[in-house]
């Protein structure tokens, strides 16, 4: 497992060969971590001592899971781990860790409204949000709505006449 930081964070090129203790010391508690999976990015909060709190959600299978604390290795699942910069974070360090741990055991995972990214953004910024969901909804869904809008406008512009007979129960 290699630990890398996007947007200006040092890259641990020999992360796979470094002992786990060396890799863990590079991470500060409260760090927002990301590991790329097939088709999405999985998010977690590093809480120290080689542990990560994350929404188990769909991270290991198609069955949803609760907010849990796991080893960094289990969180990574054999993949590289990225550090998400948080320059304008509302909370830092121990406060982020406390917020993450305050939700341990929560089992209300929803892919579009309460996923692992929503969880981490709430821990760091105080707002539950997901760039992945936003971009997904802004892309294909927006295109569908744009196609349907002209038809909806034409339909709404045509008055519908109803007689008393058709409304009677």
Helices 93-101 and 116-125: crossing angle in degrees, nearest 10, is 140
Global pTM reads 0.69
pLDDT digits (tens, 9 = 90+) for 32-87: 999 998 888 999 999 999 999 999 876 555 567 899 999 999 999 999 999 999 88
Residue 2: per-residue pLDDT:
60
For the chain, how many structural domains are there in total? 1
Residue 167 lies in a domain: no
Q: Which residues are catalytic?
A: 42, 54, 116
Q: Which domain holds residue 28?
A: 3-150
Residue 165 lies in a domain: no
Q: What is the mean predicted confidence (pLDDT) over 82-102?
A: 95
124 within 8 A of 89, measured Cβ to Cβ:
yes
pLDDT digits (tens, 9 = 90+) for 106-148: 999 988 899 999 999 999 999 999 988 887 777 665 666 666 6
Residue 166 lies in a domain: no
**Dihedral sign (CA 69, 70, 72, 75):** negative
Task: CATH number of the domain at 41, please.
Answer: 3.90.1720.10
Residue in the structure block whose two tokens are 């790329």: 36
């Amino acid at each position: 497992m290699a630990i890398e930081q996007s947007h200006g964070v040092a890259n641990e090129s020999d992360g796979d060969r470094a002992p786990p203790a060396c890799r863990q010391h590079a991470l500060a508690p409260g760090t927002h971590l990301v590991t790329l999976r097939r088709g999405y990015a999985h998010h977690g909060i590093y809480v120290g001592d080689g542990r990560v709190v994350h929404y188990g959600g769909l991270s290991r299978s198609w069955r949803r899971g609760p907010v849990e604390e796991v080893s960094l290795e289990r969180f990574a699942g054999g993949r590289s781990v990225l550090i998400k910069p948080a320059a304008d974070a509302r909370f830092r360090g121990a406060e982020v860790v406390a917020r993450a741990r305050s939700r341990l055991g929560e089992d209300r995972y929803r892919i579009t409204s309460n996923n692992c990214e929503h969880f981490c953004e709430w821990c760091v910024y105080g707002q539950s949000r997901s760039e992945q969901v936003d971009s997904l909804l802004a892309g294909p869904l927006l295109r569908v709505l744009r196609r349907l809008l002209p038809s909806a406008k034409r339909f709404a512009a045509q008055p519908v006449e109803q007689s008393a007979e058709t409304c009677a129960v």
